[in-house]
Chain A
């Protein structure tokens, strides 16, 4: 049984001008110890998927249908209090901007011990000792002294280390990391990604890594899901999705990334832009931009189908 199982998750935003469907029947699962990368352009629904799983959808957004199971137990229909206990204890979260995650008025030691004591039975002394241990593990130098410092006394990279400690300290089974390195400089990014990868491997934690940076995914993830306009258009092992993408969108996305290895005269570009939620085209959502579009794509919406080493939602792979 997978640790996290998401089935046909649909998220809607009722507005005055009608209901917008931001996620449309999204299904995927993550095993313990596995890192699933979720990529896509802004507005594709990556962050929304993460928010729906931890029950932090912003109003008036709501889960219209579908199921989310953690260890077999449904968590999408829980009352606020049981959900709060699961969030933090079983699911840890890391967001893009470490400054907004940390409370500027509390020392990082207090934030760590409070998180642990909310979810685990620990004395003050035990919690403090564990907090120092976590700071040490995420690479904060002189952890025993720095534990009483406030967030503003740390650099950006160190703050993100503290946020990682905060997300992992209650030893969750699942971590949702939403653009954890986007706000950081490249040389610091590498440190944070390595840290996240090693810590989650050591603890057998499942990770959902949301990012727009394919390079980070290539180095970190085991499998990757590509999202476009609120749907997963391709999902599979990371090497296959990058090297032999089956969906024309994934293919275009990979080809549009400039390479460090060699210089080309022109980058391949996908013309146009992703549709807005109030103007989703009929049939396949990618068909107006697709170089391989044919009649069926205008009318019918494709579901995920086996396509080589991955699964792709594309009529090119419907051989039945």
Chain B
């Protein structure tokens, strides 16, 4: 990625306080407990590309989504938008305007008491992108047309729409501040597959037409494969493998990435008898020492149990795994 980055995460960490209430802790002399949701994560997103993060529940991908738009401030490290730290974004509404978010649940993320046209117009009014009512109306109409809805749909309320159409409204709203960078947190997980295809196609069309940059969060590897230029695989708060998406799909290096790819039931494998991987996701409150993946890893040895693996380069792909580093991965 030789181009200038639009978004860069530099050694970002985020902690949540999951301690019991103060009084209870005082009685039982319990220390504070912190959950390290994101642990030393670094990545660079080039303009006009899609950076996808995949991982299972509790791996920290949604926390990164919120960090990336400044909804959370990182506990350590920094997030830079075109070289400027997001932490001073409060003083810079200009940065805020240039990024927006699309959420997973289109039933929860739209105000049920507002007409669609008001939902889409809110960012236009908030950022004073247009002042005269006529001008606002014109922009809303154009945005609705862009996502495949009509001006007349603007008069309706969210409950009158299906899940897929609601997600189109969310996209129109996200685009109304004319952002360059969109964070999409599981944008199609709540949708049926045929509708998911409509939304994914729409997102790719808009990216091409408007030169958008996406941070795309998903647990669905097939969806990610369809969308991503660059891919990061997360496990318990860390990115364990990242690089060009094609390279990782063609040759996954980290044992966890391989497990994920093997675990996905695929249409092309009718009647496949699988060899399931054992083990459960450990609790992020008390992650295993050393490499967090070692209890489930077929390649784990003594070193993996005590020493946290550093990120090493394997071709264009960055992998955090002792076995890959030592060439034990076969």
**Residues of A with Cβ closer than 8 Å to B?**
41-42, 155, 157-158, 185-191, 193-194, 212-216, 218-220, 238-239, 242-243, 252-254, 256-261, 263-264, 266-271, 273
Contact = CB atoms under 8 A, between A and B. Distances in A.
Given A185-B219, A238-B271, A256-B194, A266 B204 contact: yes
30 contacts: A41-B192, A41-B194, A42-B163, A42-B192, A185-B56, A185-B57, A185-B219, A185-B281, A187-B56, A187-B259, A188-B280, A190-B265, A193-B274, A215-B264, A215-B265, A219-B265, A219-B266, A219-B271, A242-B267, A252-B194, A257-B222, A258-B197, A258-B226, A259-B268, A260-B221, A260-B225, A260-B264, A261-B268, A263-B225, A266-B204
A269 B219 contact: no
Interface string B245-286: 010010000000001111111111111101011111100000
A142 to B, nearest CB: 14
B274 A258 contact: no
A99 B210 CA distance: 44
B195 interface: yes
Instruction: Kindly name the residue among B163, B222, B272 whose own CB sees the greatest number of chain A CB atoms within 10 A.
Output: B222
Nearest to A39: B193
Nearest to A42: B192
Given A218-B265, A273-B165, 11 more contacts: A158-B280, A189-B265, A190-B265, A215-B264, A215-B266, A218-B267, A218-B268, A218-B269, A219-B272, A260-B221, A261-B268
Interface of B: 56-57, 162-165, 192-198, 200-201, 204, 219, 221-223, 225-226, 246, 249, 259-272, 274, 276-281
Contacts, number: 132
Contacts of B201: 266-267, 269
B193 A187 contact: no
Nearest to B277: A187
Contact of A259 (B222, B261, B281): B222
Contacts of B279: 187
A149 to B, nearest CB: 15
Nearest to B57: A185
B263 A186 contact: yes
B277 A190 contact: yes
A257 B270 CA distance: 15
A191 B267 contact: no
B226 A253 contact: no
A198 B268 CA distance: 21
Nearest to B58: A185
A270 B104 CA distance: 21
A146 to B, nearest CB: 13
A191 to B, nearest CB: 4
Contact of A261 (B223, B260, B266): B266
Contacts of B221: 186, 260
Contacts of A188: 280-281
A186 B219 contact: yes
- What 10 A-B pairs come out closest when comparing CB atoms? A215-B265, A256-B197, A41-B192, A185-B56, A267-B197, A258-B226, A269-B197, A270-B194, A190-B263, A258-B222
Nearest to A267: B197
Nearest to B283: A155
Of the candidates A194, A219, A243, A258, the one having the most CB atoms from chain B within 10 angstroms of its own CB is A258
A193 B266 CA distance: 13
Contacts of A269: 194, 197-198, 201
A260 B249 contact: yes
Contacts of A264: 226
A248 B194 CA distance: 13
A219 B87 CA distance: 48
Nearest to B192: A41
Nearest to A217: B265
